[in-house]
């Protein structure tokens, strides 16, 4: 279904008086060798229509009409970041011969400026500024809690949306009587509601409500006040898979209990192959990820395969062979391996854990060894759609991060052969045009799950600088930077306790410390005593030697593997929850959530 948004919001051109028309241009063209043909193109645009503001919701189809007109009616060119949009072959952005632009199933990435002008006249340009909004998302925890009179109760709320919504708490449909400040305490824009010294009258349904131009969404946390509280069993549980030299171990983080162990010498069901090998053959793990919260995929680059573990049964259920030759298994970042794919050095796929994205990322990028460029990969149809030349920027992409908001693709670049860093590039996800360059900004980029912050970790001989930028409709804005003597190995985002956004925890390559950085205030905290890291020379496949992995929204715990132990960190209290020993060289952690209904 198409909607003529521009036509609905703004009057037609015929209503505009002649005086306000900007320019009349004539152009002369030599059409053939022997005769001069004069073609006069009269093009005009009402001054009041030079900038046209449009608003759409994610999922909408929008037709944008160009108000540049003329006699005869001129063919229209549409551009975004100077790129002629008729050269894009993608279905969701199409220029029609009647001069209108159609955007189908709009995503946040499509927000931005679209310009149109007559093919023969680039001087009269209309700019359409498209903002895209989402329905607010609200999640609360716990769903239900039972407490004794006199106790305090706390409930948490996480809100996401563009524009960021207004957040309120209600009780049984009424606003909270906040004058009663002794009773209620609202923390960080409604991130938490604390009810003090509860009585029976406080029993009720507490609603976290988020509202914006995109709509209104609520989620409910119930409080039951009783003399004899009914123990409320958790409705979900988080577990983590730790990949190490002798197999895979699965734990519960609160009591740090071992659930199950897959041994390196186990035989994969339905095959005659070992999970890793016969006795004394160590495992070699590439990368491991959670897929659709049902499976854990782990790559074994040495064996050119990916094994698939069932989250619930905790056994290997399948094997994908020749991972290097089949392009199908795009869910795993493949390592440089033999076969047809030997040129490929990196496959960069937007994380499915990003908020606001909802599978809106249809493309990823592939890089080739020492090549200054990218290949854009259609993840649905598994084919290459375009190549992007980055030679003018002397950029071989090393790391790529995606921001669902405003469609930014942020890259760390280096020079081919010499591997000298050449700074940060920002690409527009829709057109693959370079929209910003920062040659002085070196280091590995990380985008927060809410697409609001970009962290760049620059490691030098004297220590690490962490640069924090804000992701805005106008590009990246520097917020602050923090210097540390720790040599940062890995970064994990952790839900903030005072805002609806995130903070970070960073692990160190060679020290037994973790760094906490509050991304709102810039305040730093250090957690000590997390054990010796795996020696750098024992890490393979460009994994960090000291990973750190958070357990997602409302996930209290993080895990950071040491050389022969796993440390479970309580991110709320910033303390070590437990140390799990006798795990040799753990190098990858995957979190899963089990839901009980
Ligand atoms: C609180 O929410 C408002 C929007 O309702 C937003 O503008 C503001 O930045 C938020 N403050 C913090 C600290 O997140
Ligand atoms: C930090 O590690 C990187 C990579 O291993 C290395 O190049 C750099 O010199 C190290 N810095 C310090 C202070 O040890
Ligand atoms: C989009 O166009 C408007 C109006 O011309 C301008 O103010 C704004 O800076 C542009 N935005 C970007 C990101 O170029
Ligand atoms: C790794 O480095 C350590 C010292 O940090 C050294 O003792 C060990 O032999 C090295 N191992 C390998 C396989 O190079």
Give residue-wise pLDDT tens across range 541-586.
Answer: 878 999 999 998 899 999 999 999 999 999 999 999 999 999 999 9
In this structure, how many other beta carbons lie within 10 angstroms of the beta carbon of residue 154? 15
Of all helices (H) and strands (E), which one includes residue 85? none
CA angle 321, 323, 325 (to 5 degrees): 105
**Residues in the chain where the model's pLDDT stays below 70:** 1-41, 179-181, 322-344, 359, 597
Ligand 2 mutation target, pool 398, 412, 460, most atoms within 8 A of CB: 460
CA of 463 to the centre of ligand 2 (A): 7
Which residue lies with its CA nearest to atom 9 of ligand 2? 461
SS3 of residue 166 by DSSP: strand
User: Does residue 497 line the site of ligand 1, with CB under 6 A?
Assistant: no
Residue nearest to ligand 1 atom 2, measured at CA = 189
> Which residues lie across from 365 on neighbouring strands?
348, 376
Asked if residue 312 has its Cβ within 6 Å of ligand 2, the reply is no
Predicted confidence (pLDDT) per residue in 576-587, tens digit? 999 999 999 999
Ligand 3 binding pocket, CB closer than 6 Å: 51, 113, 127, 129, 474
Which ligand is closest in space to the CA of residue 532?
A: 4
CB 459 less than 6 A from any atom of ligand 2:
yes
- The pLDDT of residue 410: 97
Q: Which stretches does DSSP call E strand in 452-587?
A: 453-460, 463-472, 475-484, 488-495, 502-508, 513-517, 524-528, 549-550, 557-561, 565-570, 575-581
Q: Residue 461 has what pLDDT?
A: 87
Could you give the domains of the chain? 5-133 (2.60.40.10), 137-225 (2.60.40.10), 233-319+486-597 (no CATH), 333-452 (2.130.10.10)
Distance 543 CA to ligand 4 centre (A): 17
DSSP letters along 429-485, please?
TTT--EEEEETT--SEEEE-TTSSEEEEEEEETTEEEEEEEEEETTEEEEEEEEEES
Q: 3-class DSSP state for residue 207?
A: strand
**Ligand 4 pocket, residues with Cβ under 6 angstroms:** 535, 537
Q: For position 385, what pLDDT does the model report? A: 85
Ligand 1 neighbourhood includes 164 CB (under 6 angstroms): yes
8-state DSSP, 2: -
- 104 in ligand 1 pocket by Cβ < 6 Å? no
Rounded CA-CA distance 225/171 in Å is 14
DSSP per-residue string spanning 227-296: SSPPPPPPSEEEEEEEEETTEEEEEETTTTEEEEEEETTPBPTTSS-BSS-STTPPP----EEEETTTEE
CA of 113 relative to ligand 3 center, distance in Å: 6
Nearest ligand 1 atom to alpha carbon 500: 14
Please give the radius of gyration of the chain, using alpha carbons only, rounded to the nearest integer.
Answer: 28
539 lines ligand 1 (CB under 6 A): no
Name the residue at shortest CA distance from atom 3 of ligand 4: 535
Ligand nearest to the CA of 483: 2
**What order do you get walking across the sheet with 524-528 strand by strand?**
488-495, 502-508, 513-517, 524-528
**Of 327, 333, 342, whose CA–CA distance to 380 is shortest?**
327
d(CA 443, CA 455): 9
The C-alpha atoms of residue 299 and residue 345 are separated, in whole angstroms, by 15
Residue 538 alpha carbon, nearest atom of ligand 4 = 13
Residue minimizing CA distance to atom 3 of ligand 1: 166
499 Cβ inside 6 Å of ligand 1: yes
């Amino acid at each position: 279904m198409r909607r003529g948004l521009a036509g609905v919001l703004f009057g037609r051109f015929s209503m505009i008086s002649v005086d306000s028309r900007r320019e009349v241009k004539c152009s002369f063209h030599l059409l053939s060798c022997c005769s001069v043909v004069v073609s006069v193109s009269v093009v005009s645009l009402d001054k009041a229509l030079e900038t046209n503001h449009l608003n759409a919701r994610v999922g909408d189809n929008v037709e944008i009409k160009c108000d540049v007109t003329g006699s005869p009616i001129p063919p229209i060119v549409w551009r975004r970041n100077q790129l002629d949009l008729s050269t894009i072959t993608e279905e969701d952005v199409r220029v029609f011969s009647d001069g209108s632009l159609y955007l189908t199933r709009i995503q946040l990435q499509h927000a931005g400026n679209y310009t149109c002008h007559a093919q023969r006249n680039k001087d009269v340009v209309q700019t359409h500024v498209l903002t895209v909004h989402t329905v607010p998302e609200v999640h609360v925890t716990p769903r239900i809690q039972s407490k004794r009179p006199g106790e305090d109760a706390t409930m948490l709320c996480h809100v996401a949306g563009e524009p960021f919504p207004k957040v309120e708490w209600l009780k049984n449909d009424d606003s909270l009587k906040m004058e009663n400040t002794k009773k209620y305490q609202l923390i960080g824009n409604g991130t938490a509601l604390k009810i003090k010294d509860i009585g029976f009258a406080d029993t009720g349904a507490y609603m976290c409500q988020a509202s914006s131009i995109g709509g209104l969404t609520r989620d409910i946390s119930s409080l039951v006040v009783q003399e004899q509280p009914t123990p409320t069993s958790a409705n979900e549980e988080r577990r983590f898979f730790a990949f190490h030299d002798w197999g895979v171990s699965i734990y519960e983080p609160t009591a740090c209990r071992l659930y199950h162990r897959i041994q390196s010498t186990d035989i994969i069901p339905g095959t005659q192959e070992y999970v890793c090998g016969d006795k004394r053959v160590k495992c070699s793990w590439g990368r491991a990820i959670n897929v659709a919260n049902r499976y854990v995929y782990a790559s074994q680059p040495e064996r050119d395969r990916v094994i698939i573990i069932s989250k619930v049964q905790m056994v290997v259920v399948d094997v994908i062979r020749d991972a290097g030759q089949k392009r199908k298994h795009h869910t795993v970042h493949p390592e440089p391996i033999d076969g047809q794919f030997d040129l490929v050095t990196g496959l960069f796929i937007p994380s499915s854990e990003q908020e606001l994205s909802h599978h809106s990322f249809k493309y990823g990028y592939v890089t080739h060894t020492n090549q200054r460029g990218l290949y854009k990969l259609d993840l649905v149809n598994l084919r290459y759609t375009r190549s992007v030349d980055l030679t003018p920027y002397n950029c071989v992409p090393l790391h790529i991060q995606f921001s669902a908001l405003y469609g930014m693709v942020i890259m760390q670049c280096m020079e081919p052969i010499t591997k000298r860093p050449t700074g940060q590039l920002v690409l527009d996800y829709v057109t693959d045009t370079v929209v910003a360059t920062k040659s002085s900004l070196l280091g590995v980029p990380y985008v927060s799950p809410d697409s609001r912050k970009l962290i760049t970790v620059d490691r030098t001989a004297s220590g690490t600088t962490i640069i924090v930028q804000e992701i805005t409709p106008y590009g990246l804005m520097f917020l602050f930077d923090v210097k540390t003597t720790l040599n940062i190995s890995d970064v994990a985002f952790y839900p903030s306790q005072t805002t609806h956004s995130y903070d970070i925890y960073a692990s160190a390559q060679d020290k037994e410390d973790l760094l906490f950085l509050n991304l709102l205030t810039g305040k730093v905290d250090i957690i000590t005593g997390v054990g010796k890291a795996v020696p750098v020379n024992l890490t393979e496949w460009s994994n960090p030697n000291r990973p750190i992995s958070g357990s997602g929204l409302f996930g209290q715990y993080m895990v950071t593997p040491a050389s022969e132990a796993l440390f479970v960190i309580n991110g709320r209290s910033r303390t070590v929850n437990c140390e799990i020993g006798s795990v040799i060289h753990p190098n990858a952690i995957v979190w899963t959530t089990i839901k009980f209904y």
